[in-house]
Structure 1
Amino acid sequence: MSIYSKVMVAIDLTEEAPQVLGKALEVSKAHGAELMLVHVVEPVGYAYGGDIPMDLSELQDQLDKAAHEQLQAYGDQYGISKENQVVTVGRPESEIHRLAKEQGVDLVIVGSHGRRGIQLLLGSTANGVLHGSECDVLAVRIN
Protein backbone atom coordinates (compact mmCIF):
# COMPACT_ATOMS: atom_id res chain seq x y z
CA MET A 1 0.00 0.00 0.00
CA SER A 2 1.23 3.47 -0.90
CA ILE A 3 1.82 6.28 1.56
CA TYR A 4 -0.32 8.67 -0.50
CA SER A 5 -3.74 7.89 -1.95
CA LYS A 6 -5.00 11.43 -2.63
CA VAL A 7 -2.71 14.24 -3.71
CA MET A 8 -3.74 17.88 -4.10
CA VAL A 9 -1.74 20.25 -6.26
CA ALA A 10 -2.45 23.93 -5.69
CA ILE A 11 -1.38 26.16 -8.56
CA ASP A 12 -1.44 29.91 -9.14
CA LEU A 13 -2.09 29.83 -12.92
CA THR A 14 1.17 31.59 -13.78
CA GLU A 15 3.67 30.41 -16.39
CA GLU A 16 5.35 28.33 -13.67
CA ALA A 17 2.24 26.19 -13.05
CA PRO A 18 3.32 23.43 -15.50
CA GLN A 19 6.52 22.84 -13.47
CA VAL A 20 4.47 22.22 -10.34
CA LEU A 21 1.81 20.21 -12.19
CA GLY A 22 4.41 18.00 -13.87
CA LYS A 23 5.98 17.12 -10.53
CA ALA A 24 2.56 16.50 -8.97
CA LEU A 25 1.63 14.16 -11.81
CA GLU A 26 4.87 12.20 -11.32
CA VAL A 27 4.30 11.89 -7.56
CA SER A 28 0.66 10.86 -7.91
CA LYS A 29 1.50 8.25 -10.57
CA ALA A 30 4.37 6.86 -8.49
CA HIS A 31 1.97 6.33 -5.59
CA GLY A 32 -1.06 5.35 -7.65
CA ALA A 33 -2.81 8.32 -6.04
CA GLU A 34 -5.80 10.32 -7.16
CA LEU A 35 -4.73 13.85 -8.21
CA MET A 36 -6.80 16.89 -7.34
CA LEU A 37 -6.10 20.25 -9.05
CA VAL A 38 -6.88 23.42 -7.08
CA HIS A 39 -6.68 27.15 -7.64
CA VAL A 40 -7.71 29.76 -5.08
CA VAL A 41 -8.91 33.13 -6.37
CA GLU A 42 -8.30 35.83 -3.81
CA PRO A 43 -11.25 38.17 -3.29
CA VAL A 44 -10.71 41.43 -5.16
CA GLY A 45 -11.41 43.35 -1.95
CA TYR A 46 -8.21 41.89 -0.41
CA ALA A 47 -6.10 43.60 -3.06
CA TYR A 48 -7.59 46.97 -2.18
CA GLY A 49 -7.95 46.39 1.52
CA GLY A 50 -11.68 46.94 1.24
CA ASP A 51 -11.07 50.71 1.20
CA ILE A 52 -12.57 51.46 -2.19
CA PRO A 53 -16.32 52.14 -1.97
CA MET A 54 -17.30 50.46 -5.24
CA ASP A 55 -18.93 47.28 -6.45
CA LEU A 56 -16.19 44.87 -7.51
CA SER A 57 -18.50 41.89 -8.11
CA GLU A 58 -18.23 42.09 -11.91
CA LEU A 59 -14.44 42.06 -11.73
CA GLN A 60 -14.58 39.15 -9.26
CA ASP A 61 -16.88 37.23 -11.63
CA GLN A 62 -14.46 37.79 -14.52
CA LEU A 63 -11.54 36.54 -12.42
CA ASP A 64 -13.52 33.46 -11.37
CA LYS A 65 -14.51 32.68 -14.96
CA ALA A 66 -10.93 33.07 -16.22
CA ALA A 67 -9.64 30.84 -13.41
CA HIS A 68 -12.17 28.11 -14.23
CA GLU A 69 -11.19 28.24 -17.92
CA GLN A 70 -7.46 28.08 -17.21
CA LEU A 71 -7.83 25.31 -14.64
CA GLN A 72 -9.97 23.28 -17.04
CA ALA A 73 -7.32 23.69 -19.76
CA TYR A 74 -4.65 22.38 -17.37
CA GLY A 75 -6.97 19.59 -16.25
CA ASP A 76 -7.53 18.52 -19.86
CA GLN A 77 -3.83 18.74 -20.69
CA TYR A 78 -2.76 16.68 -17.64
CA GLY A 79 -5.66 14.22 -17.66
CA ILE A 80 -7.27 15.39 -14.42
CA SER A 81 -11.02 14.73 -14.30
CA LYS A 82 -13.48 17.62 -13.95
CA GLU A 83 -14.63 16.40 -10.52
CA ASN A 84 -11.01 16.77 -9.34
CA GLN A 85 -10.67 20.37 -10.57
CA VAL A 86 -11.59 22.95 -7.94
CA VAL A 87 -11.64 26.74 -8.11
CA THR A 88 -12.51 28.42 -4.84
CA VAL A 89 -12.42 31.98 -3.51
CA GLY A 90 -10.65 33.03 -0.32
CA ARG A 91 -7.25 33.21 1.30
CA PRO A 92 -5.07 30.60 -0.42
CA GLU A 93 -3.57 29.07 2.74
CA SER A 94 -6.88 28.64 4.56
CA GLU A 95 -8.75 27.39 1.47
CA ILE A 96 -6.04 24.83 0.74
CA HIS A 97 -6.16 23.62 4.35
CA ARG A 98 -9.96 23.44 4.28
CA LEU A 99 -10.10 21.51 1.00
CA ALA A 100 -7.33 19.13 2.05
CA LYS A 101 -9.20 18.26 5.22
CA GLU A 102 -12.63 17.98 3.53
CA GLN A 103 -11.29 15.82 0.70
CA GLY A 104 -9.09 13.54 2.82
CA VAL A 105 -5.89 14.63 1.07
CA ASP A 106 -2.64 12.90 2.13
CA LEU A 107 -0.23 15.25 0.37
CA VAL A 108 -0.46 18.89 -0.75
CA ILE A 109 1.93 20.05 -3.47
CA VAL A 110 2.66 23.76 -3.96
CA GLY A 111 5.25 25.79 -5.86
CA SER A 112 8.04 27.65 -4.12
CA HIS A 113 10.10 30.46 -5.59
CA GLY A 114 13.00 30.06 -3.17
CA ARG A 115 13.06 33.65 -1.93
CA ARG A 116 15.90 35.24 -0.02
CA GLY A 117 15.85 36.98 3.33
CA ILE A 118 12.82 36.46 5.55
CA GLN A 119 11.19 33.99 3.18
CA LEU A 120 14.44 32.15 2.58
CA LEU A 121 13.03 28.82 1.44
CA LEU A 122 9.36 29.31 0.73
CA GLY A 123 7.05 31.96 -0.65
CA SER A 124 4.39 33.29 1.67
CA THR A 125 1.62 31.01 0.36
CA ALA A 126 3.81 27.89 0.44
CA ASN A 127 4.97 28.81 3.94
CA GLY A 128 1.37 29.33 5.11
CA VAL A 129 0.28 26.00 3.63
CA LEU A 130 3.20 24.20 5.27
CA HIS A 131 2.65 25.61 8.74
CA GLY A 132 -1.09 25.03 8.99
CA SER A 133 -1.38 21.72 7.22
CA GLU A 134 -2.62 18.52 8.82
CA CYS A 135 -1.02 16.42 6.06
CA ASP A 136 2.34 16.30 4.30
CA VAL A 137 3.33 19.23 2.08
CA LEU A 138 5.74 19.11 -0.83
CA ALA A 139 7.13 22.45 -2.00
CA VAL A 140 8.33 22.20 -5.61
CA ARG A 141 11.16 24.58 -6.36
CA ILE A 142 10.32 26.80 -9.32
CA ASN A 143 13.26 27.70 -11.53
Structure 2
Amino acid sequence: MSPERDLSRLLAGMRPEANPGRYVFTTLERSDPGSLPEGLSPVVTVAEPEGVTLVVRQEEADAACLAYDYVAAWITLRVHSALDAVGLTAAVAGALADAGLSCNVVAGFHHDHLFVEHARAEQALAVLDALSQDPHKPAP
Protein backbone atom coordinates (compact mmCIF):
# COMPACT_ATOMS: atom_id res chain seq x y z
CA MET A 1 0.00 0.00 0.00
CA SER A 2 1.23 3.49 -0.84
CA PRO A 3 1.97 5.94 1.96
CA GLU A 4 -0.77 8.49 2.61
CA ARG A 5 -0.22 12.21 2.00
CA ASP A 6 -3.73 13.66 2.35
CA LEU A 7 -4.07 15.23 5.80
CA SER A 8 -7.79 14.44 6.17
CA ARG A 9 -7.14 10.76 5.45
CA LEU A 10 -4.06 10.72 7.67
CA LEU A 11 -6.02 12.08 10.62
CA ALA A 12 -9.02 9.82 10.04
CA GLY A 13 -6.79 6.77 9.72
CA MET A 14 -4.35 7.41 12.59
CA ARG A 15 -5.48 4.47 14.75
CA PRO A 16 -3.19 5.44 17.67
CA GLU A 17 -1.89 2.43 19.54
CA ALA A 18 0.06 2.39 22.81
CA ASN A 19 3.08 0.14 22.88
CA PRO A 20 3.54 -1.67 26.19
CA GLY A 21 6.15 -0.42 28.63
CA ARG A 22 7.74 2.72 29.93
CA TYR A 23 10.36 4.47 27.80
CA VAL A 24 13.08 6.96 28.69
CA PHE A 25 15.37 9.32 26.80
CA THR A 26 19.02 8.94 27.76
CA THR A 27 22.34 9.85 26.21
CA LEU A 28 25.77 8.33 25.65
CA GLU A 29 29.00 10.19 24.95
CA ARG A 30 29.59 10.84 21.27
CA SER A 31 33.04 9.21 21.37
CA ASP A 32 31.79 5.74 20.38
CA PRO A 33 28.19 5.77 19.15
CA GLY A 34 28.52 2.22 17.78
CA SER A 35 29.03 0.56 21.14
CA LEU A 36 25.98 0.28 23.34
CA PRO A 37 26.01 -0.95 26.91
CA GLU A 38 24.99 -4.61 27.23
CA GLY A 39 21.24 -5.19 27.26
CA LEU A 40 20.13 -2.04 25.44
CA SER A 41 17.76 -2.30 22.48
CA PRO A 42 16.95 1.31 21.54
CA VAL A 43 13.68 2.03 19.77
CA VAL A 44 15.11 5.40 18.66
CA THR A 45 18.70 6.57 18.18
CA VAL A 46 19.67 10.15 17.33
CA ALA A 47 23.28 11.24 16.83
CA GLU A 48 23.92 14.82 17.95
CA PRO A 49 27.21 16.68 18.41
CA GLU A 50 26.75 16.49 22.19
CA GLY A 51 26.14 12.74 22.29
CA VAL A 52 23.94 9.92 21.10
CA THR A 53 20.35 10.08 22.35
CA LEU A 54 18.66 6.74 22.92
CA VAL A 55 15.05 5.96 23.67
CA VAL A 56 14.98 2.67 25.56
CA ARG A 57 12.75 0.78 27.94
CA GLN A 58 13.05 2.18 31.45
CA GLU A 59 14.17 -1.17 32.86
CA GLU A 60 17.01 -1.34 30.30
CA ALA A 61 18.23 2.14 31.29
CA ASP A 62 18.01 1.22 34.97
CA ALA A 63 19.98 -2.01 34.44
CA ALA A 64 22.69 -0.08 32.53
CA CYS A 65 22.73 2.70 35.20
CA LEU A 66 21.86 5.34 32.60
CA ALA A 67 20.46 8.67 33.76
CA TYR A 68 17.09 9.99 32.57
CA ASP A 69 14.46 12.40 33.82
CA TYR A 70 11.44 11.80 31.60
CA VAL A 71 9.37 8.61 31.56
CA ALA A 72 7.23 8.28 28.45
CA ALA A 73 4.58 6.14 26.87
CA TRP A 74 5.21 5.22 23.23
CA ILE A 75 2.22 5.66 20.92
CA THR A 76 2.34 4.58 17.29
CA LEU A 77 0.05 6.15 14.70
CA ARG A 78 -0.86 3.10 12.62
CA VAL A 79 -1.59 5.06 9.43
CA HIS A 80 1.14 4.62 6.80
CA SER A 81 2.18 8.24 6.51
CA ALA A 82 4.38 9.53 3.73
CA LEU A 83 7.57 11.18 4.89
CA ASP A 84 6.70 14.23 2.78
CA ALA A 85 3.12 14.51 4.07
CA VAL A 86 2.28 17.99 5.30
CA GLY A 87 0.43 18.79 8.52
CA LEU A 88 0.14 15.52 10.46
CA THR A 89 2.82 16.36 13.02
CA ALA A 90 1.43 19.88 13.47
CA ALA A 91 -2.16 18.65 13.90
CA VAL A 92 -1.20 15.95 16.39
CA ALA A 93 1.19 18.11 18.39
CA GLY A 94 -1.31 20.98 18.37
CA ALA A 95 -4.18 18.83 19.67
CA LEU A 96 -1.99 17.39 22.41
CA ALA A 97 -0.64 20.85 23.32
CA ASP A 98 -4.20 22.19 23.55
CA ALA A 99 -4.82 19.46 26.13
CA GLY A 100 -1.66 20.43 28.04
CA LEU A 101 0.29 17.35 26.92
CA SER A 102 3.90 17.37 25.77
CA CYS A 103 4.79 15.24 22.78
CA ASN A 104 8.06 14.12 21.23
CA VAL A 105 7.51 12.94 17.65
CA VAL A 106 9.73 10.54 15.70
CA ALA A 107 8.99 9.71 12.08
CA GLY A 108 9.72 6.18 10.97
CA PHE A 109 9.60 5.04 7.36
CA HIS A 110 6.05 3.67 7.74
CA HIS A 111 4.59 5.34 10.83
CA ASP A 112 4.88 8.28 13.18
CA HIS A 113 5.72 7.58 16.80
CA LEU A 114 4.82 9.79 19.74
CA PHE A 115 6.40 9.81 23.17
CA VAL A 116 4.12 11.39 25.77
CA GLU A 117 4.26 11.58 29.54
CA HIS A 118 3.62 8.01 30.73
CA ALA A 119 1.24 9.07 33.50
CA ARG A 120 -0.98 10.82 30.93
CA ALA A 121 -0.91 8.21 28.15
CA GLU A 122 -4.62 7.39 28.36
CA GLN A 123 -5.48 11.08 28.08
CA ALA A 124 -3.19 11.39 25.03
CA LEU A 125 -4.91 8.41 23.38
CA ALA A 126 -8.32 10.00 24.04
CA VAL A 127 -7.15 13.27 22.46
CA LEU A 128 -5.80 11.43 19.41
CA ASP A 129 -8.97 9.36 19.06
CA ALA A 130 -11.07 12.54 19.20
CA LEU A 131 -8.82 14.20 16.61
CA SER A 132 -9.23 11.25 14.25
CA GLN A 133 -13.03 11.43 14.61
CA ASP A 134 -13.31 15.19 14.11
CA PRO A 135 -10.17 17.22 13.35
CA HIS A 136 -12.05 20.51 13.94
CA LYS A 137 -13.44 19.66 17.37
CA PRO A 138 -11.45 20.82 20.45
CA ALA A 139 -9.61 18.08 22.33
CA PRO A 140 -11.22 16.62 25.48
Q: TM-score range by the shorter chain?
A: under 0.3
- TM-score, normalised relative to structure 2: 0.25
- TM-score, normalised relative to structure 1: 0.25
Higher share of residues assigned helix: 1
